[in-house]
Amino acid sequence: MRLLVRATNGVEETVFRRFVVDNTPPSVAVAGIVNGDELAVNATDLRVDVVDEGGVAEVAYELDGKLIGVVRRAPFSLPWTAGPGAHELRAIATDRAGNKSASDLVVFDVQ
């Protein structure tokens, strides 16, 4: 980008600046749980595999359609105590530029 800057004393200067626009969302997938898994009732960490060239700002976890936590530090895992029943888990990653993407929905049972 080329800018023409005029100071209050009337002196003009041309300034060039380069800007990088990041429109690419992060890649995110639930890790450690796959569709059809049967888990035991206990405390565990929900985990993701997340990658973004410009850096990941946060990962939000939704369980059964409700937000259960947001993690803003790598490795982006969330402590969770599994309750019995059928569950659906999704992770939503946001990069430092504000781009978002969601993982595939993972459906599993806790017994």
* Position 32, amino acid: G
Q: Is the pLDDT of residue 33 over 90?
A: yes
Percent of the chain clearing pLDDT 90 (strictly above): 77
Cβ pair 90, 105 in contact under 8 A: yes
CA–CA distance from 10 to each of 1, 5, 6, 30 (Å)? Answer: 22, 10, 6, 58
Structure tokens at 8: 């209050």
Rg, the chain, Cα only: 21
Our CA angle for 9, 11, 14, nearest 5°, is 145
Arithmetic mean of pLDDT, 41-52:
95
pLDDT for the residue numbered 21: 86
pLDDT for the residue numbered 104: 98
